[in-house]
Amino acid sequence: IEIHAHKTPLSSGILAWKEVNPKGGNPIIFIHGNSASSKVFAKQMNDPNFEERLIVVDLPGHGESDDAKNPDVTYSFKGYAQALLEFMHTENIASAVICGWSLGGHAAIDMAWLEPNRVKGLFLTGTPPIDLTLDGFKAGFKPFEGVEFMSQSTAFTREQAIKFVSMVGIQENEFPGILEDNMRTDGKARSMMIANAISGTEKSHREILETIQTPLAFVLGLNDEGINGDYIKSLNYANCKRFYEL
């Protein structure tokens, strides 16, 4: 499988991304989680069963993308969504299904709210649609060991990166380079994102998914120690097609 690597200048900085099947239809854009990178989707990118155009991105402040030029603007769910929609405009991607893990899923929800015609569907995992307040955060997430890493403003040491990768369920030997990408992540991308997520100033993700008609599906981990799956299943979605429980 031939993987094509690209870098696209955006107002937030250079965005690094890769694709397979560039002439395929029905694009699917995969968005990684906090302090990770597009490397976590290596299995999807190397799966010969996909005929669709598959795109993986490194969010601003992550992987091979630049740190945000204006972190106050970019390092929030809405800010990441705006950067990704600008990417779609710049690269003439009219619409796509968005597959988001954790932070990537939250950015995807805001993409569907900001430009619903660009988002053909949402496929989310590790993404409780919360009210963006401290109470909302407590409702959607369980207390878990290492939660303080999620908002750490300084760069991870190698030891911290090993703990973080293990905590979020990534097998580092399956994704070469993921530890280096964890250590590379801009600390502000964590601290400012979490501060914005509980500030009460951003649009509620619960309200978005209870309103918009974008087709939606969730993957829930039955043994997930950090995500409240019962909360995710309890909401009154406008167009949720399925919960996949694994």
Tens digits of residue pLDDT in 20-71: 999 999 999 999 999 999 999 999 999 999 999 999 999 999 999 999 999 9
Read out DSSP for 90-147? HTT---EEEEEETHHHHHHHHHHHH-GGGEEEEEEES-----SBHHHHHHHB---TTG
Question: What pLDDT digit, counting tens, does each position of 127-183 carry?
Answer: 999 999 999 999 999 988 778 899 999 999 999 999 999 888 888 888 999 999 999
CA distance 111 to 97: 11
Q: How confident is the model at residue 78 (pLDDT cuts 50, 70, 90)?
A: very high
Question: Regarding beta strands 13-20 and 4-10, do their DSSP bridges make them parallel or antiparallel, or are they unpaired?
Answer: antiparallel
3-state secondary structure of 11: coil
**Among 206, 229, 207, which Cα is nearest to 218's?**
229
- Crossing angle between the packed helical segments 103-114 and 77-90, to the nearest 10 degrees: 60
Q: How far is CA 44 from CA 17, 20, 38, 52, 186, in A?
A: 14, 10, 11, 11, 26
Task: Tell me how far apart the alpha carbons of residues 141 and 153 are, in angstroms, rounded to a whole number.
Answer: 20
pLDDT (tens digit per residue) in 197-206: 999 999 999 9
Q: Residue 127 to residues 108, 112, 130, 206, 220: CA-CA distances in angstroms? A: 10, 14, 9, 11, 9
Q: At 158, phi and psi to the nearest 5? A: -60, -40
In angstroms, the Cα distances linking 195 to 132, 140, 202 are: 10, 16, 11
Region of 57 (left: φ > 0; alpha: ψ -120 to 50; beta: rest) is beta
> What pLDDT sits at residue 123?
98
Asked if the model's pLDDT at residue 99 lies above 80, the reply is yes
Mind listing the pLDDT tens digit for each residue in 103-123? Answer: 999 999 999 999 999 999 999
Copy the structure tokens of residue 191: 């601290």
Number of H helices, E strands in the chain: 10, 8
CA 246 to chain centroid, in Å, comes to 20
